[in-house]
Amino acid sequence: ASSLCLYRWYYSRICQWGLGLTIAALLLLAFVERPSSLSVSSDGRHRSPPWEPPCGFTESIEMVCLLIFCLDLAVKSYLIGWDEFRKGKWLIGYTVVLSFSIIDWVLSVSMVCDERLRVRRLLRPFFLLQNSTLMKKTLKCIKRTLPEIASVILLLALHLCLFTMIGMLLFAKTDDPKRNGEWELHFRDLPQSLTSLLVLLTTANNPDVMIPAYSLNRGYAVFFVTFSVIGTYCLMNLLTAIIYNQFRGYLLMSVQTSIIRRRLGIRAAFQVLGCRGAQHSTEDEQVGVDAVLEAMSRVQMKTYCRAAITTEVQRYADVGHMDREQFRKIFDELDKDRIKEHPPLPQYNSPVLQRLQMIFSHYYLTILGNAVALANVMCICTVLVLNSEKSTAERDNFLLEIINLCFILYYVFEMCVKIFAFGWRGYLSYRNNIFDGFLTVLLLGLQILIYATYRLPHAHWDPSSHLMSLWEMIRLVNMLIVFRFLRIIPDIKLMALVASTLLDLVKNLRAFAGILVVVYYVFAVFGIWLFEGAIKPPPEMSVISNTTMENITSNFSMECGTYEQLSYWSNNFDDFAASLILLYNVMIVNNWQAFMEAYSRYTSDWAKVYFVCWWLTSSVMWVNLFVALILENFIYRWDRSHSCSVTDVERIRYETSLQLIFK
């Protein structure tokens, strides 16, 4: 009984939230730890030395987190018992990682924070993985897909090697120096040819790599086009197909497993409750309604599910007991979605008020509101276009301010009128209104602040005396108005479907986002470890010329398209935040060869391995997983939303089988 209590306490919401917060705190430490990311810019040319935490500050936070994890591990192993503990690979891994981290921590404290290698940082994402069932499942799914992915990657490698060899044969050095352009720039030796074609596989150097050969002879384009069509279009998309295919099967099975588990749980609950109410049983097993109701009142579940099940159970109150089939059936309520009901409109007695309520609750008011919001955005746009070349002093802020004021007053009016028509609770029951109202109140507050600070009638003020200048305040107001314009989305039907799919996606994305965090974390820590301070920006630039335009001029001495010429100095591995952005830029793929080339030039050619690994993990694996997720989600949602409107026989048959699968 005490262990059951502990179990309930451990899996209570507070406890799990606490654990999640601890993990988040531990992961976020990477931003503060040396090399700390707490500087305005990551650009080595003009960044102030960041605030470095004193030794022992991050370490003590870390120790607290680790101790909480120890406690967590102890509770978990106590709860599931020693036999299960030995079998679970994740728990054994947890123990190993935890003890290793503590040993590493002790070492690092004993060296007074002067260590170069912080291996435990690499291991931190493990805590995140270990804590989420969904992520573990997704990882298992990815593991299952690996053989097929490996076969495509093997095919890609074969494709790459064959084309590299054919390319080297095709663009070999000839006696005529005029015809050596391609050889000189892209096919000089094996590593260079391999890199050129690998980058072409990602399309990141597409027209450039073929230009020297193509401008000599059109025929050479065939080589590059064939390479891209087979590699980029066919093989890469086949990877998407494979991942989607595997993923489709996996979701199906995991959902079925969880349904079977729930069935088992319900069956067990029936058995237990049946034993307690043994006096009722005659020949068949039965449970008493009182026992079920008592159990229901203690179980943790969503309130509307509980209410629905309790109502169902009370239908058997006059019989006093229910058999197995009936017991199973009442839990079908869990599968039903909650139907959202809006509170009724408030009743007014005066006929004038009723008339007004009818007008204001009409759909046309929303359309008018959208039109006004559009007008406001257009207005801001016009002012922006007119002001784009003017300096701050030349801009006429007053006019814009007064226009904004009018619009914001209309918004406030619209909000009040809607609250009047729908009532306070009715207004808030629409998610759209919450978004709208929140922004309106914020805008009103900002406007009041502006008037309080600047007292507009006095047209001349000292711009330096205030925290924010009038122009910046108005800029903020304008951004909020533009953002508020998003309220039109739910009013356009197809856009609403698409947008709600996106919102749905965000919910289902947690496991993927978690894995993305893990992958980014490991690669960023690894990157800092390998490349910290590898690229030193030229110091004289930060002294003499600082503006971008001048940089461009002074960069003309460098070769075009390189890291230095593009002044990518702020993309480096000198701190955690900067590494994340660099990794993101490589994930986006465009121009990733500039980073790869620069780091392999400043350190060694082996740096390419790091970048290719990251490209494979992020852009090939993760992006394809993401596409698979979007496909899965959209198709499921589409089938569900069209089940009523389309009477197509095939579709319904298909759709119901899908619904059975995914429920």
Judged by DSSP in three states, 205 sits in coil
Binding its own copies (rule: CB under 8 A), the pick from 19, 107, 291, 589 is: 589
Residues paired with 288 in a beta bridge: 321
Which residue is it, tokens 């998610």?
Answer: 431
Binding of its own copies at residue 166 (CB under 8 A)?
A: yes
Closest distance of CB 563 from its own copies, Å = 10
Binding of its own copies at residue 641 (CB under 8 A)?
A: no
Residue (285 or 639) nearer to its own copies, CB: 639
Dihedral of alpha carbons 38, 42, 48, 49, sign: positive
Binding of its own copies at residue 140 (CB under 8 A)?
A: no
Distance CA 195, CA 597 (A): 10
Binding of its own copies at residue 401 (CB under 8 A)?
A: no
Closest distance of CB 20 from its own copies, Å = 23
Residue (219 or 351) nearer to its own copies, CB: 219
The DSSP annotation for 93-133 comes to HHHHHHHHHHHHHHHHHHTTT--S--HHHHHTHHHHHHH-H
Dihedral of alpha carbons 579, 583, 585, 590, sign: positive
Binding its own copies (rule: CB under 8 A), the pick from 51, 424, 451, 584 is: 584
Phi and psi (nearest 5°) for 379?
A: -60, -50
Residue (273 or 477) nearer to its own copies, CB: 477
Binding of its own copies at residue 165 (CB under 8 A)?
A: yes
Q: Point out which span in 296-304, 315-323, 405-413, 480-488 binds its own copies (CB under 8 A).
A: 480-488
Distance CA 247, CA 239 (A): 12
**CA distance to 345, 351, 361, 429, per residue, from 354 (Å):** 11, 5, 10, 21
Binding its own copies (rule: CB under 8 A), the pick from 60, 271, 314, 590 is: 590
Distance CA 189, CA 165 (A): 10
Closest distance of CB 344 from its own copies, Å = 33
Phi and psi (nearest 5°) for 633?
A: -65, -50
Closest distance of CB 462 from its own copies, Å = 14
Distance CA 318, CA 338 (A): 28
Residue (429 or 570) nearer to its own copies, CB: 570
Binding of its own copies at residue 516 (CB under 8 A)?
A: no
Residue (266 or 480) nearer to its own copies, CB: 480
Q: Give the chain's count of helices (H) and strands (E).
A: 29, 2
323, 284 contact by CB (below 8 A): yes
Give residues 70-129 in contact with its own copies (rule: CB under 8 A).
Answer: none
Which residues are CB-neighbours of 650 under 8 A, at least 6 positions away?
none
31, 37 contact by CB (below 8 A): yes
User: By rule CB under 8 A, what count of residues binds its own copies?
Assistant: 137
Binding of its own copies at residue 560 (CB under 8 A)?
A: yes
Q: Point out which span in 78-86, 90-98, 432-440, 634-642 binds its own copies (CB under 8 A).
A: 634-642
Give residues 29-48 in contact with its own copies (rule: CB under 8 A).
Answer: 37, 39-43, 45-46
Give residues 167-196 in contact with its own copies (rule: CB under 8 A).
Answer: 168-170, 172-175, 177-178, 180-181, 184-185, 188-190
Judged by DSSP in three states, 370 sits in helix
Q: Point out which span in 11-19, 268-276, 403-411, 562-570 binds its own copies (CB under 8 A).
A: 562-570
Q: Please, what is the end-to-end C-alpha distance for the chain in angstroms?
A: 34
Q: Point out which span in 308-316, 375-383, 418-426, 439-447 binds its own copies (CB under 8 A).
A: 375-383
DSSP 570: T
Give residues 520-549 in contact with its own copies (rule: CB under 8 A).
Answer: 546-549
Q: How far is CA 186 from the centre of its chain?
A: 37
Q: Point out which span in 17-25, 94-102, 497-505, 610-618 binds its own copies (CB under 8 A).
A: 497-505
Closest distance of CB 119 from its own copies, Å = 27
Binding its own copies (rule: CB under 8 A), the pick from 449, 543, 561, 609 is: 561
Closest distance of CB 48 from its own copies, Å = 12
Binding of its own copies at residue 157 (CB under 8 A)?
A: no
Give residues 261-280 in contact with its own copies (rule: CB under 8 A).
Answer: none
Give residues 232-251 in contact with its own copies (rule: CB under 8 A).
Answer: 232-235, 237-238, 240-242, 244-245, 248-249
Distance CA 214, CA 595 (A): 26
Binding its own copies (rule: CB under 8 A), the pick from 15, 139, 308, 377 is: 377
Binding of its own copies at residue 647 (CB under 8 A)?
A: no
Residue (38 or 272) nearer to its own copies, CB: 38
350 burial via Cβ count (<10 Å: 0-12, 13-18, 19+): exposed
Closest distance of CB 303 from its own copies, Å = 32
Give residues 194-233 in contact with its own copies (rule: CB under 8 A).
Answer: 203-208, 211-212, 214-218, 221, 225, 228, 232-233
For the beta carbon of residue 130, count every other beta carbon within 10 angstroms.
Answer: 20
27, 62 contact by CB (below 8 A): no
Which residues are CB-neighbours of 169 under 8 A, at least 6 positions away?
none
Residues paired with 540 in a beta bridge: none
Binding of its own copies at residue 152 (CB under 8 A)?
A: yes
Closest distance of CB 253 from its own copies, Å = 7
Identify which of 285, 295, 293, 297 has the alpha carbon closest to the alpha carbon of residue 312.
Answer: 293
Binding of its own copies at residue 566 (CB under 8 A)?
A: yes
Residue (138 or 286) nearer to its own copies, CB: 138
Dihedral of alpha carbons 409, 410, 415, 420, sign: positive
131, 20 contact by CB (below 8 A): yes
Token pair listed for 255 = 């959902």
Residue (19 or 581) nearer to its own copies, CB: 581
Binding its own copies (rule: CB under 8 A), the pick from 145, 478, 579, 618 is: 478
Residue (314 or 657) nearer to its own copies, CB: 657
Binding of its own copies at residue 508 (CB under 8 A)?
A: no
Dihedral of alpha carbons 538, 541, 547, 548, sign: negative
Binding of its own copies at residue 499 (CB under 8 A)?
A: yes
Binding its own copies (rule: CB under 8 A), the pick from 264, 268, 375, 384 is: 384
Closest distance of CB 268 from its own copies, Å = 24
Amino acid at residue number 55: C
For the beta carbon of residue 650, count every other beta carbon within 10 angstroms.
Answer: 8
391 phi-psi bin (left φ>0, alpha ψ -120 to 50, beta other): beta
Binding its own copies (rule: CB under 8 A), the pick from 109, 119, 155, 616 is: 155
Binding of its own copies at residue 319 (CB under 8 A)?
A: no
DSSP 555: G
Binding of its own copies at residue 446 (CB under 8 A)?
A: no
Residue (94 or 576) nearer to its own copies, CB: 576
Distance CA 448, CA 450 (A): 5
Amino acid at residue number 486: L
Binding its own copies (rule: CB under 8 A), the pick from 60, 226, 258, 657 is: 657
